[in-house]
């Protein structure tokens, strides 16, 4: 088995940031290449664009926001954009009319700026380490990301430090937006999570949490009950948000016919909300957001402040002048049997992840995960 390698492609992207793309390899990429898996970060927006096993080249995060453009068949421009797993910061959802007038857009600036690598990746204690950062000028925030990827296992952890660079405090939100797409996403894909109480984003203010639902259930406008774990030809309701009430939140997506599971785990103290987005195109599953973050309400800041909490859980954070707040999660891949029924539970104790199968089969999958969330 070949040794784990580190690759850092840092083309001077600022010199051609306005030029059209002619080939995918022209984009600046950070690549961590381990024995079990390969991770690719696109520095034009900071998205995790590819995470796949060496034994299975299928990338669950194969999704690109360019597919929602007016000309998806054309080559995308050489500019930052959202792909795969992207970061929503300083908001999740829309800006106010006044903010729009100053250039703020949907989900904030993190995927609309170039990220820079802070140092060359290194090997340390059986892990591949990399650091990168981005400045968000409209939001007045800086985000610094540290990635630690196992050399031997198909898992990596991320710590993101958000700093308020302005002289005044403000409210904000940070939401991780992993997006799975075809071919991993099809009618057989099953999404599981340890979410509990939820509500449909399409319900009107000021009480969108009425009616309340329980994971994995959701309701369409006409009252039809939907099992949110599945997606076939109808995406309604499009976004459903749930709270997580255990120490760690988790979500998984499986495609048993492809023998593949992708999963996330995070401290609920960092990210108390799980937000499930579903999208259908031409009658087939096109995108699913396995989103987790500090909010569950898809509204501008003034609405968040007025509402305050849902199910007793805050829907925004406050960050003071010069303050830094840190948030963490881990992402993993596993091979599964082709009759795997889904995930009933995930246990993270010590340095192991144990995934228990759903459907009464009582099979388990185990991974040596290491220490994912150091106390410091």
Contact 161, 325 (CB under 8 A): yes
Q: Is 79 exposed, middle or buried (0-12, 13-18, 19+ CB in 10 A)?
A: middle
Residue 266 has pLDDT above 70, yes or no: yes
Residue 166 has pLDDT above 80, yes or no: yes
Residue 214 has pLDDT above 90, yes or no: yes
**Taking the CB of residue 144, how many other CB atoms lie within 10 A of it?**
16
Q: How far is CA 142 from the centre of its chain?
A: 19
pLDDT exceeding 70 applies to what percent of the chain? 93
How many Å apart are CA 354 and CA 348, to the nearest integer? 7
Contact 307, 124 (CB under 8 A): no
How do residues 60-92 score in pLDDT, each as one tens digit? 999 998 888 888 888 888 899 999 999 999 999
How do residues 241-263 score in pLDDT, each as one tens digit? 999 999 999 999 999 999 999 99
How do residues 318-364 score in pLDDT, each as one tens digit? 999 999 999 999 999 999 999 999 999 999 988 999 999 998 888 99
How large is the average pLDDT for residues 216-244?
Answer: 98
Give the pLDDT band (50/70/90) at residue 317: very high
How do residues 108-121 score in pLDDT, each as one tens digit? 999 999 999 988 89
How do residues 8-49 score in pLDDT, each as one tens digit? 443 333 322 222 333 445 899 999 999 999 999 999 999 999
Supply the pTM of this predicted model: 0.93
Name 136's bridge partners.
141
Domains defined along the chain, listed by start: 5-368 (2.70.98.10)
* Residue 15 confidence (pLDDT): 26
Average pLDDT, the chain: 92
How many Å apart are CA 373 and CA 376, to the nearest integer? 8
Contact 179, 162 (CB under 8 A): no
How many Å apart are CA 102 and CA 301, to the nearest integer? 15
* Residue 25 confidence (pLDDT): 53
* Residue 21 confidence (pLDDT): 34
* Residue 23 confidence (pLDDT): 42
| 3-state per-residue secondary structure call for 185-219 | CCCCCEEEECEEEEEECCCCCCCCCCCCEECCEEE
* Residue 5 confidence (pLDDT): 46
DSSP 318-335: EE-TT-EEEEEEEEEEEE
Cis, peptide link before residue 90, omega less than 30° from 0:
yes
């Amino acid at each position: 088995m070949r040794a784990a390698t580190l690759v850092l492609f840092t083309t001077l992207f600022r010199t051609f940031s306005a030029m059209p793309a002619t080939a995918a390899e022209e984009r600046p990429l950070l690549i961590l290449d381990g024995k079990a898996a390969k991770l690719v970060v696109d520095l034009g927006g900071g998205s995790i664009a590819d995470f796949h096993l060496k034994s299975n080249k299928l990338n669950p995060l194969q999704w690109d926001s360019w597919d929602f453009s007016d000309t998806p068949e054309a080559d995308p421009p050489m500019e930052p954009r959202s792909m795969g797993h992207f970061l929503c910061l300083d908001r999740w959802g829309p800006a106010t009319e006044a903010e729009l007038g100053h250039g703020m857009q949907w989900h904030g600036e993190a995927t609309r700026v170039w990220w820079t690598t802070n140092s060359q990746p290194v090997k340390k204690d059986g892990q591949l380490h990399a650091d990168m950062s981005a400045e968000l000028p409209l939001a007045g925030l800086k985000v610094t990301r540290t990635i630690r990827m196992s050399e031997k296992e198909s898992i990596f952890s991320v710590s993101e430090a958000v700093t308020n660079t302005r002289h005044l405090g403000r409210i904000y939100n940070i939401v991780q937006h992993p997006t799975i797409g075809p071919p991993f996403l099809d009618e057989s894909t099953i999404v599981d999570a340890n979410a509990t109480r939820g509500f449909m984003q399409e319900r009107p203010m000021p009480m969108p949490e009425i009616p309340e639902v329980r994971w994995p259930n959701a309701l369409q406008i006409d009252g039809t009950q939907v099992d949110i774990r599945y997606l076939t030809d109808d995406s309604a309701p499009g976004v459903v948000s749930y709270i997580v009430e255990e120490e760690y939140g988790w979500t998984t997506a499986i495609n048993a016919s492809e023998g593949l599971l992708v999963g996330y785990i995070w401290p609920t103290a960092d990210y108390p909300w799980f937000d499930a987005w579903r999208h259908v195109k031409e009658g087939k599953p096109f995108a699913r957001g396995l989103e987790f973050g500090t909010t569950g309400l898809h509204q501008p800041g003034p609405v968040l402040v007025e509402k305050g909490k849902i199910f007793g859980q805050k829907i925004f954070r406050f960050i003071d002048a010069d303050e830094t707040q840190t948030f963490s999660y881990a992402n993993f891949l596993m091979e599964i049997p082709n009759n795997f029924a889904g995930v009933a539970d995930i246990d993270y104790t010590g340095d192991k992840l144990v995934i228990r199968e759903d459907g009464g089969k009582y099979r388990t999958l185990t991974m040596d995960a290491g220490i994912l969330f150091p106390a410091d």
